[in-house]
Amino acid sequence: MSGSIKLPHTCPKCGKTAYTKEELERYFGFRQMNPTTLTNQSWCKECR
């Protein structure tokens, strides 16, 4: 997995923070940019 995934990541709307890859996947989810690149969603799932 490559892309611009950086931890910790904070939702710009509500302030929820993910400190691990597991929390990032649970709270934010990932977006497939192309067949080889993933990046995290900017806003958490609740704010989207």
Provide the pLDDT for residue 2.
53
Q: Rounded to two decimals, what is the model's pTM?
A: 0.81
43 lies in which domain range? 1-48
Closest CA to 28 of 6, 2, 37: 6
pLDDT of 36: 86
Answer for the pair 40, 30: CB distance below 8 angstroms, yes or no: yes
pLDDT at 46: 97
Residues 19 and 6: their CA atoms lie apart, in Å, by: 9
Are 16 and 44 contacting, i.e. CB atoms less than 8 angstroms apart? yes
Domain count, the chain: 1
Specify the pLDDT at position 1. Answer: 47
5 vs 26: which has the higher pLDDT: 26
